[in-house]
Structure 1
Amino acid sequence: MILPVYVYGHPVLRKESEEIDEDYEGLEKLIDDMWQTMYHTDGIGLAAPQIGKNIRLMVIDATPMAEEFPELENFKKVLINPIITEFGDDSCNESEGCLSLPGIREEVKRPKKITIEYENENFELVEEVLEGFAARVVQHEYDHVEGKLFVDHISSLKKRLIKGKLNAISKGKVDVSYRIKTA
């Protein structure tokens, strides 16, 4: 089922998410619904807070960007209870957008390399070192389970410049091809 995407201004996006275990009711269906919602919205990642669930769960399929970023070849994952255990020293700026902030794109500085631990959909523990755009995509979705948005990483001047757009999004005054949920 395609779910509505919660947008800027909704309090669920600002809460730190809770860990879950294999007994979480309806998890398999929830993951399937998240995939459907992400593909319907043309996203490459979706975190549970974006569909109103404050749990540490995210789905990512960044393979459509593999031509431009080879590290994204077959980069399709379910990440449960993710924890970034290490951030690399080198950073870079790249433009980011978000389904919860439709119509806004900004340059965001993030580490080029991370180490992350998570459980896959079978609750097997995985530890990975990710680099390049793969690290960026995971950090972006990880922010959601931490109660953060990519606009938290931009300067106060840039935030002031997009304040009108942010206010419009929080009131649902945005033209998107998917259902949204405001506060």
Structure 2
Amino acid sequence: MALLKIAKMGHPVLLREAVAVADPTAPEIVSLVSDMLETMHDARGAGLAAPQVHRALRLFVYHVPISRAADGEAPIAPRVLINPTITPLSDEMMNCTEGCLSLPALRGLVPRFAHVGFEGQDLEGKTISGEARGFHANVLQHENDHLDGILYTMRMKDFSSFGYVDEFTRAEDPA
């Protein structure tokens, strides 16, 4: 396994639409996913899309750590979703404070669908599907956006919520 270099905002790979993975079971895909999981954990991220590691492929890895699970949401162990589709299951929206490994140390408020369906493949080529709410729905939409060349800043409605994490933290702690 190896740590991969993460593309930062401004790199063209982050603005391109990714191509479908022809064979999810291919050894190079299995190796890429393994390296992406290691990279995501090392960077302390909740998700990582292939374009973020300079590979314009339609796949991402993610998890829902216990610290991010809320309102009875269960944590989700690290997993991959290959050739995903994400579908809103209601018109209900939620505002999510998002960060991104490609925009380090920055955060902003992003409107997302509160309830989504997802489908894709795993490393055995088997279909994975389900529904997600809360942080799970948030991370699925965020990572899937990377596959379409969309950064979270492109979805923001109000840039007064956009800034550096340490500045928001400092402002919350008047001491």
TM-score, normalized by length of structure 2? Answer: 0.84
Alignment pair present for 1:62 and 2:64: yes
Which ranges in structure 2 are unaligned for 5 or more consecutive residues? 165-175
- Contact kept in structure 2, 1:88 and 1:114, CA below 8 Å: yes
- Contact kept in structure 1, 2:63 and 2:75, CA below 8 Å: no
3-state SS of paired residue (2:153)? helix
Shift of 1:21: 2.4
Aligned to 1:12: 13
Aligned to 1:140: 142
Q: 2: distance between equivalents of 1:47 and 1:108?
A: 18
Aligned length: 161
Show CA shifts across 1:53-95 (max 9, x none): 0000100122243554542423432100001133421001121
Instruction: Trace 1:1-183 onto structure 2 (pairs within 5 A).
Output: 1-22=2-23, 24=26, 26-66=28-68, 68=70, 70-155=72-157, 158=159
- Contact kept in structure 2, 1:72 and 1:133, CA below 8 Å: no
Q: 1: distance between equivalents of 2:61 and 2:35?
A: 10
Shift of 1:132: 1.3
Which ranges in structure 1 are unaligned for 5 or more consecutive residues? 166-183
More strand by share: 2
Q: 2: distance between equivalents of 1:50 and 1:154?
A: 20
| 1:128–1:67 CA distance, 2 compared to 1 (3 A) | closer
| 1:28–1:151 CA distance, 2 compared to 1 (3 A) | same
Q: 1: distance between equivalents of 2:70 and 2:81?
A: 23
Greater length-normalized contact order (CA 8 Å, ≥ 6 residues apart)? 1
- Contact kept in structure 2, 1:72 and 1:134, CA below 8 Å: no
Consecutive aligned runs of 4 or more in structure 1 exceeding 3 Å deviation: 66-70
What amino acid maps onto 1:9 in structure 2? Answer: G
Identity rate, percent: 34
